[in-house]
């Protein structure tokens, strides 16, 4: 394994990460609403975004070693009644305590396999905890250690915006099935969306997808509809549709901040895929120039990227796929391989450490990590667990029964397509 500093030097990169990342996340708890430092720092956060209550000094001033010991002690005391889920993008100090590690949907399914756990602590972001609440049993508590751990991509499409878009597109395309029985528009939401948007899909004949099953889900949708409205990530939608043989002129963009979405009624009427103008700030940072730099620095390097990257980056890479795909590709690569990866830096660094016989590095080794995953710090995990030991549930995530029921319809459709 080559050191990160050596890779940065070899790539000719410079350290550009936001200096705010050197601060602990509670430094942002009492400031105006923001995603905090990292890749989403400049993204517009909703005014009603959840806020985390400030932590006491017994947590913010505790040493790293003390926090680790307190987490271990609380976890031991809670026993099998506790389940800790850790997303791939979490920092190592959190992952070490997780009972399961995976992507958002894998973890939610893991939660459903442990009905004996009274408390599910989801070390991820808000929409993930919502999905876990939908799929878990009513008696289980789902807890997010830091309520400010949102997702800027998920926040780029809210229920009011999507409903307004749907009404306008229905006026353009009609709302009665075609002569072949196909629905005019099928809504498809990426897993990285609120429970309200999953419920919207559930009640409008739509479905949920993940980065690993997007193609199978779109095939399901086109069997039932003439068009797809895909939100909130334009890049996953575009990259998947291109791989299925669609052309760019069949994929107009819907910008919720432009009148009538920003395209013409004719473009929407003739569309196959209507793409929402949303994106992941982490994956949007990767560039073709970074790929070219990696190929020059490491001749023969294999470049693999997440499909939330731009079309140009995906086209320039050797392979694209979900986090699970990236993990598998690195595991299966022969010793001595050089692999450049376009995804979140915490995961890439962990994979590099796990495979010291290979040179694994991030396309941008100084890329800012996910702003909101960064919010889950051991201090918040210790705080949540110690409250559970004292019989108090903090930061409980609850999806109302109507929304949960409709969202589960869309999730169950996905599971029938691609378990």
Predicted local confidence at residue 227, as pLDDT: 97
Predicted local confidence at residue 12, as pLDDT: 58
In a domain, 300, yes or no: yes
Residue 169 is part of a domain; what is its CATH number?
3.40.50
Predicted local confidence at residue 10, as pLDDT: 65
Predicted local confidence at residue 419, as pLDDT: 65
**Residue owning tokens 């299925």:** 244
| CA distance linking residue 135 with residue 409, whole number of Å | 11
| Torsion sign across C-alpha atoms 41, 47, 48, 50 | positive
Which DSSP category does 226 fall into?
A: E
Residue 137, phi then psi, degrees to nearest 5: -85, 155
b/e per residue 18-48 (b: at least 16 CB within 10 A):
bebbeeebbebbeeeebbbbbbbbebebeee
Assigned token pair, 103: 């992507």
Angstrom CA distances, 123 to 81, 151, 320, 331, 391, stand at 17, 13, 26, 24, 20
HSE value, Cβ hemisphere, 13 Å, CA-based, for 264: 5
Same domain? 191 vs 145: no
Same domain? 287 vs 272: no
In a domain, 258, yes or no: yes
Which DSSP category does 121 fall into?
A: E
Which of the residues in the chain have pLDDT under 50? 14-16, 19
Same domain? 274 vs 287: no
Residue 289 is part of a domain; what is its CATH number?
3.40.50.10800
* Domain closes at, from 234, 253, 278: 278
* Domain closes at, from 278, 307, 331: 278
Same domain? 313 vs 241: no
Predicted local confidence at residue 389, as pLDDT: 98
Predicted local confidence at residue 28, as pLDDT: 83
Predicted local confidence at residue 16, as pLDDT: 47
Same domain? 272 vs 331: no
In a domain, 168, yes or no: yes
In a domain, 93, yes or no: yes
Are 228 and 272 in contact, with CB atoms under 8 Å apart?
Answer: yes
In a domain, 302, yes or no: yes
Same domain? 86 vs 124: yes
CB atoms within 10 A of CB 219: 13
| CA distance linking residue 350 with residue 88, whole number of Å | 9
In a domain, 383, yes or no: yes
Which DSSP category does 334 fall into?
A: P
Residue 277, phi then psi, degrees to nearest 5: -85, 75
| Torsion sign across C-alpha atoms 28, 31, 32, 33 | positive
Q: Which residues contact 241 (CB under 8 A, 6 or more apart)?
A: 218, 250, 251, 272, 273
Same domain? 260 vs 226: yes
pLDDT tens for residues 208-233? Answer: 999 999 999 999 999 999 999 999 99
Predicted local confidence at residue 418, as pLDDT: 77
Are 387 and 78 in contact, with CB atoms under 8 Å apart?
Answer: no
Angstrom CA distances, 28 to 54, 263, 337, stand at 9, 38, 40
Are 190 and 234 in contact, with CB atoms under 8 Å apart?
Answer: no
| CA distance linking residue 152 with residue 179, whole number of Å | 40
In a domain, 367, yes or no: no
pLDDT tens for residues 84-115? Answer: 999 999 999 999 999 999 988 888 888 888 99
Same domain? 181 vs 238: yes
Assigned token pair, 115: 């009905």
- Number of domains forming the structure of the chain: 3
Assigned token pair, 385: 């667990």
Same domain? 196 vs 217: yes
* Domain closes at, from 278, 295, 323: 278
In a domain, 391, yes or no: yes
Same domain? 268 vs 170: yes
Predicted local confidence at residue 21, as pLDDT: 66
Q: Measured at the alpha carbon of residue 86, what is the angle toward residues 339 and 409, in degrees to the nearest 5?
A: 105
Strand ordering across the sheet containing 119-123: 100-102, 82-87, 119-123, 141-143
Enumerate the H helices of 156-231 as residue ranges.
Answer: 159-173, 195-203, 214-224
Assigned token pair, 74: 């609380």
Predicted TM-score (pTM) of the model is 0.93
Are 70 and 386 in contact, with CB atoms under 8 Å apart?
Answer: yes
Are 339 and 358 in contact, with CB atoms under 8 Å apart?
Answer: yes
Same domain? 303 vs 246: no
Nearest to 191 by CA among 158, 228, 233, 254: 233
Assigned token pair, 43: 């993204």
SS3 189: strand
Q: Which residues contact 300 (CB under 8 A, 6 or more apart)?
A: 338
Which DSSP category does 17 fall into?
A: S
| Torsion sign across C-alpha atoms 119, 122, 126, 127 | negative
Same domain? 169 vs 125: no
Residue 256, phi then psi, degrees to nearest 5: -65, -10
Domain that holds residue 220: 157-278
């Amino acid at each position: 394994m080559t050191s990160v500093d050596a890779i940065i030097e070899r790539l000719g990169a410079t350290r550009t990460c936001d200096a705010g990342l050197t601060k602990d996340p509670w430094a942002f708890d009492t400031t105006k609403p923001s995603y905090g430092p990292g890749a989403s720092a400049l993204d517009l956060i909703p005014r009603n975004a959840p806020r985390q209550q400030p932590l006491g000094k017994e947590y913010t001033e505790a040493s790293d070693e003390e926090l680790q010991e307190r987490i271990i002690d609380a976890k031991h005391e809670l026993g099998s009644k506790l389940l800790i889920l850790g997303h791939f993008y979490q920092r190592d100090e959190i992952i070490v305590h997780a009972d399961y590690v995976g992507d958002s949907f894998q973890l939610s399914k893991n939660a459903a396999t442990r009905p004996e756990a009274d408390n599910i602590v989801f070390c991820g972001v808000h929409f993930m905890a919502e999905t876990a609440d939908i799929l878990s049993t009513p008696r289980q508590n789902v807890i997010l250690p830091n309520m400010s751990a949102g997702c800027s991509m998920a926040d780029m499409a809210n229920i009011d915006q999507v409903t307004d878009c749907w009404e306008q597109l229905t006026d353009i395309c009609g709302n009665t099935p075609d002569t072949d029985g196909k629905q005019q528009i099928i809504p498809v939401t990426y897993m990285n969306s609120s429970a309200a948007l999953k419920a919207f899909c559930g009640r409008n004949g739509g479905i949920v997808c993940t980065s690993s099953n997007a193609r199978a889900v779109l095939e399901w949708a086109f069997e039932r509809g003439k068009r797809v409205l895909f939100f909130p990530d334009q890049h996953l939608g575009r990259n998947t549709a291109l791989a299925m043989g669609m052309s760019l002129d069949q994929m107009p963009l819907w910008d919720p901040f432009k009148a009538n979405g920003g395209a013409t009624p004719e473009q929407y009427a003739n569309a196959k895929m209507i793409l929402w103008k949303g994106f992941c700030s982490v994956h949007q940072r990767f560039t073709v120039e970074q790929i070219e730099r990696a190929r020059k620095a490491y001749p023969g390097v294999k470049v693999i990227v997440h499909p939330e990257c731009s079309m140009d980056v995906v086209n320039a890479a050797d392979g694209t796929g979900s986090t699970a795909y990236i993990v598998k590709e690195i595991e299966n690569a022969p010793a001595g391989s050089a692999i450049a990866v376009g995804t979140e830096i915490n995961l890439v660094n962990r994979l590099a450490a796990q495979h010291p016989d290979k040179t694994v590095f991030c396309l941008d080794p100084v890329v800012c990590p996910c702003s909101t995953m960064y919010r889950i710090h051991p201090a918040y995990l210790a705080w949540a667990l110690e409250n559970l030991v004292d019989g108090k549930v903090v930061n409980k995530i609850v999806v109302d029964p109507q929304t949960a029921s409709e969202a589960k319809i869309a999730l169950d459709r996905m599971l029938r397509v691609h378990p």
